[in-house]
Amino acid sequence: MSPRQSKSNSNSTRRSQIERRSVLKRRPSGARVEKKRFLILCEGDTERLYFRGMRVRGGPVLDVVNPEVDHLSVIDEAQRRWRVDDYDDGDEVWCVLDTELDRDLAERMLSTAGGEVQLGLSTPCFDFWLLLHHKEHRAPFQSAREVEKAVKCALPGWSKGSTRFADFEAGVDDACRRARAIDPKGNDHMRNPSTSVWRLVESIRESGDGQHPL
């Protein structure tokens, strides 16, 4: 057992703590102390596992949630959390969703979002974003299942429930480049295949040094 700390040392410690708190209180009005925060709501665990894996020491705070509800309800939940939680104007809120090759669904998601909520949409599904980390692909898909099979061919042993960002990290630059080449503005959501997830990923990477994974 270590020797008991003297009362004088204890008082000194309390004074230093009070002084530090005083310094924080004296920060200029409007100065931002906290890291930038991203509220990311997903419709599946694959997306949740990927973005949680992007958390880095020195980077932004990533609040990643899979509310396990339908597409439009994911957007509603993002809007609710943005209103009630302690987010600043410089923070960002995103919903990462699939179009499932359904134009009507995509249009309803875009109409529902508006305001502060940004959409990272993938056609047919998020797995196409994963595929681009490992290979170029432009040919249309007939279903989300086809995309899943393509990822498994590119990355043997991968499954949706065991997604690890580490398996894709080395290919992030390639994925962003390939996705931008397909849809440079990230708004041609029904192009098959396509994904605008690169916009979110680039924003996250620009918000921190990304040097030390947690």
Tokens of 133: 């980390």
Mean pLDDT of 176-201: 97
6 belongs to a structural domain: no
Give the model's pLDDT for residue 33. Answer: 52
Give the model's pLDDT for residue 209. Answer: 57
59 belongs to a structural domain: yes
Rg (CA), the chain: 21
Q: What is the pLDDT of residues 8-65, one digit of tens each?
A: 444 443 333 333 333 333 334 444 457 899 999 999 999 999 999 999 988 999 999 9
20 belongs to a structural domain: no
Query: Which helix (H) or strand (E) is 156 found in, with range?
Result: none
214 belongs to a structural domain: no
Residue with token string 């990643």 = 64
Give the model's pLDDT for residue 86. Answer: 85
119: containing domain = 34-208
Among 138, 135, 169, residue whose Cα is nearest residue 152:
135
* Domains of the chain: total: 1
CB 210 within 8 A of CB 202: no
Compute CA 147 distance to the chain's CA centroid, rounded to the nearest angstrom: 21
Rounded to whole angstroms, the Cα distance separating 169 from 197 reads: 15
12 belongs to a structural domain: no
Q: Pick the range with the lowest mean pLDDT from 22-36, 95-109, 168-182.
A: 22-36
186 belongs to a structural domain: yes
3 belongs to a structural domain: no
Tokens of 151: 């990822």
Rounded to whole angstroms, the Cα distance separating 120 from 98 reads: 8
Q: What is the pLDDT of residues 87-98, one digit of tens each?
A: 998 999 999 999
Phi, psi angles (nearest 5°) of residue 194: -165, 165
Rounded to whole angstroms, the Cα distance separating 30 from 39 reads: 22
17 belongs to a structural domain: no
